[in-house]
């Protein structure tokens, strides 16, 4: 009996190994589960520098959004889940609606900026917080003991943060829901902000049709600013972008580059971008909703190629079921 069991197990292991070895593309979604607002990143420091990481929102009713999982991969094809890297048990002011993590590595620490509580006015408790860990897989602990931003400024709901390191080493926080986007200059230790020359802390940079989910990257010295448009529970959710010469814009909308494809999925939006180090090779990581699905929370995390034309414009993304080919990092 025991021998039979052993033989059966060997066959299963062999079959699984074979299946993994022959998986040529990532497939979409990248991993099982309802996950939205994915931030994809490659960290600089060893031993984590040879991996892709994705930090998404756990997509569920707000009251159940009390933790965040992360995912890592060596090749974009096989992914490992890291459960509950952030948990509201470790953040006394965060009660629900943990949203849209944005992560950055600095001085051997990992800082995660997150939204919590979905505040509707300045009278409610919550907003954007910061958590810190020694490792990308957490556990992340509350860094400030209170939100970093807990009020509306320039009409922007304090959600959907993105932390950006500029060419000169300065860190900025782009954020905002309710169709307004602000940028603020972070203090070097991320405990607060440095006012701009005009004395203001929150500079509004909202482009046309902006709704939420800002993201920034630099290519060939230009600032590519991207954001989500439409309503996240509907099919028209999408991503548009602008190009500027400065991190403050002006951000003149160029057009949409990610949206639903009625043959593949709806509601494609709230994305991030990964560049393969030292290569002009780019991926867009985003969420979308399976065709015919009507539950707003049924959002899944996907990856597809992002390419540019000869003038540096982003080509419209082709959303796929296959995903992308294996791309191991050095």
Binding mask 214-233 for ligand FUB (x = CB under 6 A): ------------------x-
Which positions are annotated as active-site residues?
A: 37, 212
If the CB atoms of residues 67 and 308 are measured against ligand FUB, the closer one turns out to be: 67
First to last CA, the chain: 46
Q: Which of 70, 128, 149, 159 binds ligand FUB (CB under 6 A)?
A: 159
Under the criterion CB under 6 A, does residue 29 sit at the interface with ligand FUB? no
Residue 234's SS3 state is: coil
What token pair was written down for 303? 């990856």
Under the criterion CB under 6 A, does residue 36 sit at the interface with ligand FUB? yes
Burial level of 165, CB count in 10 A (0-12/13-18/19+)?
middle
**Neighbour count for residue 179 (Cβ, 10 Å):** 14
Closest to 299 in 3D by CA, of 61, 123, 83, 128 = 61
Residue 115: CB minimum distance to ligand FUB, A:
6
Under the criterion CB under 6 A, does residue 57 sit at the interface with ligand FUB? yes
Q: Which of 39, 87, 150, 160 binds ligand FUB (CB under 6 A)?
A: 160
Residue 20's SS3 state is: helix
Residue 59: CB minimum distance to ligand FUB, A:
6
**Neighbour count for residue 312 (Cβ, 10 Å):** 12
Bond from prior residue into 29 cis (ω within 30 degrees of 0): yes
Binding mask 65-104 for ligand FUB (x = CB under 6 A): ----------------------------------xx----
Residue 319's SS3 state is: coil
List of residues contacting ligand FUB (CB under 6 A): 36-37, 57, 99-100, 159-160, 212-213, 232, 270
């Amino acid at each position: 009996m025991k021998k039979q069991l052993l033989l059966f197990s060997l066959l299963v292991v062999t079959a699984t190994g074979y299946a993994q070895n022959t998986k040529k593309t990532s497939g979409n979604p990248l991993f099982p589960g309802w996950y939205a607002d994915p931030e994809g990143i490659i960290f600089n420091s060893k031993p984590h520098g040879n991996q892709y990481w994705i930090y998404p929102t756990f997509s569920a009713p707000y009251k159940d959004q009390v933790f965040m999982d992360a995912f890592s991969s060596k090749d974009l094809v096989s992914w490992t889940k890291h459960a509950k890297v952030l948990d509201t048990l470790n953040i006394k002011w965060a009660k629900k609606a943990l949203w849209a993590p944005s992560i950055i590595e600095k001085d051997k620490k990992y800082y995660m900026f997150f939204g919590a509580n979905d505040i509707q006015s300045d009278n409610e408790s919550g907003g954007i917080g910061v958590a810190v860990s020694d490792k990308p897989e957490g556990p992340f602990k509350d860094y400030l003991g209170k939100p970093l931003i807990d009020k509306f400024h320039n009409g922007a709901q304090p959600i959907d943060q993105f932390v950006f390191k500029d060419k000169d080493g300065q860190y900025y926080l782009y954020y905002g829901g309710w169709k307004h986007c602000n940028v603020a200059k972070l203090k070097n230790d991320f405990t607060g902000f440095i006012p701009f020359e005009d004395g203001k802390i929150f500079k509004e940079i909202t482009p046309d049709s902006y709704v939420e989910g800002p993201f920034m990257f630099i290519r060939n010295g230009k600032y590519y600013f991207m954001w989500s448009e439409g309503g996240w529970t509907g099919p028209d959710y999408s991503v548009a972008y602008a190009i500027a010469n400065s991190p403050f814009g002006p951000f003149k909308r160029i057009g949409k580059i990610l949206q639903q494809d009625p043959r593949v999925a709806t509601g494609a939006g709230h994305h991030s971008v990964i560049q393969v180090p030292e290569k002009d090779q780019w991926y867009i990581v985003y969420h979308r909703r399976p065709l015919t699905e009507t539950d707003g929370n049924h959002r899944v995390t996907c990856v597809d190629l992002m390419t540019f034309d000869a003038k540096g414009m982003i080509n419209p993304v082709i959303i796929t079921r296959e995903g992308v080919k294996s791309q191991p990092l050095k």
